[in-house]
Structure 1
């Protein structure tokens, strides 16, 4: 059973919430899911529940940053010793003043080393009957030693809590000998697609349409770091809908598609009332995707109810789904970016327009065509969804939500 709880169970639902208010509203209504220890390499898409600390310095000892020569003393020439210091093993070589030895990138510098000089900056010669090296005339005098703790020291904070666990976080944690950390998430969701007219396989009967969301919705939810535990399809039947909500599960979220309107076949709100759910948000001022709702179910799960039209469902997923992830996992970093929109505008009607866009020459963004909500054709060439608040004019700087590809 999920441990998600609402902070204010007796508050009235918020109707027609602005897109810009989603983080504030959900952050105030929801408490984070329980944190857990996990191997970060197996937790892509989770959120760090605490700072990531280094438990080992990097590098752990002085090493060579380049192939070259470890030298002892100021020179200008050094006597060459026999042997080579290589990475991954400790050499028995020790340098006295005026001596040098070959060294490979990443190798520990031998005792007595005062500098590492890269190969292209030195030349060899016989001097006094011995093999020596000297710095080439005009070559820069630089030390190519990576000093112990140069990148970080044991106990340093590498990143703060709230960071998304991605490939870079995993790699840094491995380098810092901190492969296990406290995290929240990724969120897990049960998904339900409703509609008598929706058919996934087989020949379409009159009035039926092909299921254009079932195969791709997990992809868009995954882009928000919401994993799908299972996907169910049901007709518009009140009893079946209620039964689905009452199934035993350990998911954090329930995601439904369809039945968010107020038509005769839309039973969602009445079923939620019957089972004792508390609606937190009923409608978001955005188009498409405005007829969505967020509720707390009696078993503690959070419901994200998406509209049935494919583009509206995708827009609502990427807008509200990311806010739910931030609220439930205390994520602080944002997946959005900003760009200048060249050819789209939003009327001053209090709604945020969601427009599929693509970056073109000059760095500006342009709409990819008229957005029909019954299909995802507008996303074929799109790279992001642009969020255009009411009154946005052409050439404005707007928030962009990258699309999964």
Structure 2
């Protein structure tokens, strides 16, 4: 059980929440106080997501966003989640060898090309016997795996047989080695029941049987099943290639925070999490606050504006992620760059805490883009809300059934009055979810020890009972 008396843990807030690192979302002025350490202490809005430096509330920020980006209100969390899955249009399939298929996704159903097993086989080492014992021993040696068309076995006889070997015609059962003994030319032991320790042909499946549906991730076990079913190649949708742009002049990438600058916490974790979601990170580019630029800019080196950096990223990737810069502050460049490119924004802000400044765009060439907020836990929220379903869409994987991935909270947790809350939880026992605390938008301490994230719908009373869970990606 989480301790409701856990002391509040202070967190370092940076200078601007709309770029990557440990910052306060949407903050334009001095450092602001982050959210409380324990979920039960978070009352109403997330204090760390207000523009405290400029004395502007969350509602003020929404009005400002409408003036600068044209969006009226945040998309509700469930709609944003479903929209992201639709925006991830399936990648073209390709045939690859079994050795290349691991980590990809089946683009076609896997059907058996043969019966499994393909013939009656011995399930244990011992003797193939015909009829009741004792049995005479068939001359000519043992029947071994890999031998084809063993000689028929006459009634009253037995022959040594190895696990996996083809059953001789006339065999009624296999007597396990530990249950029999030979004396001279006779085998003695208890009479096995008919068919004992024989794997009959087609016991697992018959030719043409459906084994796995399209959209199944190719794991080592799937490779083994495909090989057993007769496949040399598989038709798959490849792992989506993802390019990441980490924005922010205030970010340090090594050493201790100093001189008003802070460590980038998003860059180191985003690559492994993408791998855990079945994607292939092709680049993680660390940028400052590039000017937005213009779509028709000519001359100069490539990549000296955010527009050009986005174009370069989209040219080598199936999905582009930006970290930071999604707000409406003076150096938040993502919205101006997307406008310059003529991008479409199916989701421009989500009614979720932490992470409401996240966005989902479609670049002119059809490549989706997810803008992660700059606060670390807010970025995690965007990964689970938008990135994960986009990747499932790209690979043709279905969305998990929300009704089956649920657990009961070990204690009540405060909810946001208007927005969904995503709260890190441990899973101490099957069917139970324990809040771990440290759930402020700039905090990673809670998510580092969590097994999942609980989805708390908005409401005036604390959440209790069963809640939906989002699994955390595991590399």
TM-score (norm 1): 0.87
Give the 3 Å change call, closer, same or farther, for CA 361–327 of structure 1 in structure 2: closer
1:335 positional shift: 9.1
1:10-89 paired onto structure 2 within 5 Å: 16-29=74-87, 31-72=89-130, 74-82=131-139, 83-89=141-147
Q: Select between 193-202 and 24-33 the one with higher mean Cα deviation.
A: 24-33
1:275 positional shift: 1.3
Q: Select between 285-294 and 326-335 the one with higher mean Cα deviation.
A: 326-335
Q: How far apart, CA to CA, are the structure 1 residues paired with 2:225 and 2:71?
A: 43
Choose which of 341, 345, 352 in structure 2 pairs with 1:279. 345
1:333 positional shift: 5.7
Choose which of 351, 355, 362 in structure 1 pairs with 2:423. 355
| Conserved 8 A contact 1:40-1:165 | no
Q: How far apart, CA to CA, are the structure 1 residues paired with 2:422 and 2:329?
A: 24
Q: Which runs of 5+ in 2 are unaligned?
A: 1-69, 294-304
Question: Which is strand-richer, 1 or 2?
Answer: 1
Q: Secondary structure at the match of 1:155?
A: coil
Which residue number corresponds to residue 356 of structure 2?
Answer: 290
1:280 positional shift: 1.4
1:233 positional shift: 1.0
Which residue number corresponds to residue 147 of structure 1?
Answer: 200
| Conserved 8 A contact 1:220-1:314 | no
Q: Select between 102-111 and 332-341 the one with higher mean Cα deviation.
A: 332-341
Q: How far apart, CA to CA, are the structure 1 residues paired with 2:173 and 2:160?
A: 12
May I ask how many residue pairs the two structures share in their alignment?
388
| Conserved 8 A contact 1:53-1:159 | yes
Choose which of 303, 311, 314 in structure 2 pairs with 1:246. 311
Q: Secondary structure at the match of 1:214?
A: helix
1:3-402 paired onto structure 2 within 5 Å: 16-29=74-87, 31-72=89-130, 74-82=131-139, 83-90=141-148, 92-124=150-182, 130-135=185-190, 143-201=196-254, 204-238=257-291, 239=293, 240-247=305-312, 249-332=315-398, 334=400, 337-347=405-415, 349-360=417-428, 364-391=432-459, 393-402=463-472
1:189 positional shift: 0.7
Give the 3 Å change call, closer, same or farther, for CA 38–13 of structure 1 in structure 2: farther
1:259 positional shift: 0.4
Which residue number corresponds to residue 6 of structure 1?
Answer: none
| Conserved 8 A contact 1:346-1:390 | no
Q: Which runs of 5+ in 1 are unaligned?
A: 1-11
What CA deviation, in whole Å up to 9, does each residue of 1:106-158 have, x standing for no partner?
111123223222234445456xxx4133426xx76652111112111222211
1:349 positional shift: 2.2
Which residue number corresponds to residue 9 of structure 1?
Answer: none
1:183 positional shift: 1.7
Q: How far apart, CA to CA, are the structure 2 residues paired with 1:328 and 1:14?
A: 29
1:355 positional shift: 1.0
1:249 positional shift: 2.1
Give the 3 Å change call, closer, same or farther, for CA 67–402 of structure 1 in structure 2: same
Give the 3 Å change call, closer, same or farther, for CA 148–14 of structure 1 in structure 2: farther
| Conserved 8 A contact 1:190-1:255 | yes
RMSD between superposed Cα atoms in Å:
2.5
Give the 3 Å change call, closer, same or farther, for CA 22–35 of structure 1 in structure 2: farther
| Conserved 8 A contact 2:426-2:450 | yes
| Conserved 8 A contact 2:251-2:262 | yes
Give the 3 Å change call, closer, same or farther, for CA 142–94 of structure 1 in structure 2: closer
1:29 positional shift: 4.6
Give the 3 Å change call, closer, same or farther, for CA 350–179 of structure 1 in structure 2: farther
